[in-house]
């Protein structure tokens, strides 16, 4: 078993070495041992280090409770872990999930890059105080596909950056259909960011078009929000049933037999626990995938406020209903990270 020093662990993870020493002394780093006055740890142990409870963090200028998630630095890749949220149906909560997950990951200590690849630009509107109309096409993923380089992102917070979208991005969808050889370029541009970010969250259009395909080629894992209705669950069933085909398509485009596309999680949305219909659909999702997270309830109040105020749910004023929605989002974030850690750790064995 290969071991590294805490100094090397700090360099790879971006964490403070003194903080790591405290974690090691408290027994929170699996396999850590003290030898000759120096801590040594298994090379892959840092992907399993838990985050201390009770932490608060400032994101987008507001202090919030950080989610209780394991702190997983995916530094063994030397590049960020890339998540694509996608569902071919609209109105399932895809963009709001991307928004709130990104904010909570940043609050937990991750360095997060959000990429809005949807020409509707809703995620950009949610996160960026400027209106999408002032976003130039060169600031979007258009540059990644045309010039093979990611544009310099908007800095929303120390740990939260954004590559925005604009309605004009719809022209790129048409051009990609005519120049499909460009599809792997977002993948290559994200890899070129190196260790600058821990996680990239890609928001996809609600379609099976070229921008969605580019996101799936670029992603390590897909995150599938699924509405807890018969139609919504059937759509999720179709997506999961085609998952192997998406992975094969990714390998073919990258010409890399080792390229993977994993399922980060299925996230049940618009759940109404009062109805037997929603309960039945939730059980269908759980039977379909062991990576189904706790559900996000149908809460028009908090999500309506988030839309109206252009503010992520965890950053709204925490009244009773917003607090309940935020706690659900914490549980979903923790479940997603747990699924990722399990799959990443399996990949290291």
- Taking residue 298's Cβ as centre, other Cβ atoms within 10 Å add up to 17
Predicted pLDDT at 279: 96
Number of domains in the chain: 2
Domain boundary, last residue among 49, 70, 85 = 49
pLDDT of residue 51: 46
Same domain, 20 and 57: no
Indicate if 277 and 165 belong to the same structural domain: yes
Q: How much is the pLDDT for 325?
A: 94
* Same structural domain, 22 and 102: no
DSSP per position, 175-244: HHHH-GGGTTHHHHHHHTTGGG-SEEEEEPPSSSSHHHHHHHHH-SEEEEEEESSHHHHHHHHHHHHTHH
Cβ–Cβ < 8 Å for 236, 221: no
- Do 181 and 291 lie in one domain? The reply is yes
What was the pLDDT predicted at 348? 42
Q: Based on the fold, state whether residues 74 and 27 are members of the same structural domain.
A: no
Q: Give residue 130's domain range.
A: 52-348
45/66 same-domain check: no
Instruction: Say whether both 227 and 108 belong to one domain.
Output: yes
CB 197 within 8 Å of CB 151 = no
Claim to verify: residue 45 and residue 61 sit in the same structural domain:
no
Could you state, in chain order, the average pLDDT of each consecutive group of 10 residues for the chain (349 residues)? 75 64 70 85 55 64 71 60 91 93 90 94 83 79 94 92 92 91 95 90 93 95 96 94 91 91 95 95 96 94 91 90 93 90 64
pLDDT score of 341: 79
Of the candidates 20, 83, 12, 17, the residue with the CA atom closest to the CA atom of residue 44: 12
Task: Give per-residue burial for 252-284: e unless 16+ CB within 10 Å, then b.
Answer: ebbeeeebebbbbbbbbbbbbeeeeebeebbeb
Same domain, residue pair 37 and 60:
no
Q: Are residues 9 and 96 in the same domain?
A: no
On whether the CB atoms of residues 140 and 164 are closer than 8 A, the answer is yes
The answer on 257 and 130 residing in a single domain is yes
- Whether residues 167 and 301 fall in one domain: yes
CATH number at residue 197: 3.40.50.300
- The C-alpha atoms of residue 315 and residue 187 are separated, in whole angstroms, by 31
Q: What are phi and psi of 89, to 5 degrees?
A: -90, 150
């Amino acid at each position: 078993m290969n071991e590294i020093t805490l100094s090397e662990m700090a360099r790879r993870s971006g964490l403070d070495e003194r903080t790591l020493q405290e974690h090691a002394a408290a027994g929170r780093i699996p396999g850590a041992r003290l030898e000759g006055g120096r801590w040594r740890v298994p090379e892959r142990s840092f992907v399993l280090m838990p985050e201390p409870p009770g932490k608060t963090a400032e994101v987008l200028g507001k202090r919030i409770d950080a989610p209780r998630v394991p702190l997983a630095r995916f530094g063994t890749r030397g590049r960020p872990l890339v998540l694509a949220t996608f569902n071919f149906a609209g109105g399932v909560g895809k963009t709001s999930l991307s928004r709130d997950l990104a904010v909570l990951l940043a609050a937990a200590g991750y360095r997060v890059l959000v990429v809005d690849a949807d020409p509707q630009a809703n995620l950009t509107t949610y996160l960026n105080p400027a209106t999408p109309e002032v976003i130039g096409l060169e600031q979007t993923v258009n540059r990644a596909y045309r010039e093979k380089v990611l544009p310099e992102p908007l800095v929303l917070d120390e740990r939260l950056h954004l590559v925005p979208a604009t309605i004009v991005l719809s022209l790129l969808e048409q051009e990609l259909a005519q120049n499909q050889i460009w599809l792997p370029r977002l993948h290559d541009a994200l890899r070129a960011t190196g260790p600058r970010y821990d996680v990239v969250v890609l928001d996809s259009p609600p379609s099976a078009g070229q921008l969605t395909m580019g996101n799936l080629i670029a992603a390590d894992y897909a995150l599938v929000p699924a509405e807890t209705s018969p139609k919504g669950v059937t759509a999720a069933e179709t997506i999961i049933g085609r998952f192997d085909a998406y992975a094969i398509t990714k390998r073919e485009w990258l010409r890399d037999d080792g390229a993977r596309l994993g399922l980060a999680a299925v996230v049940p949305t618009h759940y109404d626990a009062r109805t037997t219909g929603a309960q039945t659909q939730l059980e269908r999702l759980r039977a379909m995938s062991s990576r189904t997270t706790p559900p996000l309830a149908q809460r028009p109040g908090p999500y309506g406020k988030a839309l109206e105020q252009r503010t992520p749910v965890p950053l709204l004023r925490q009244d009773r209903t917003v607090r309940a929605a935020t706690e659900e989002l914490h549980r979903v974030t923790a479940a997603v990270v747990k699924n990722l850690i399990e799959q990443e750790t399996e990949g290291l064995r």
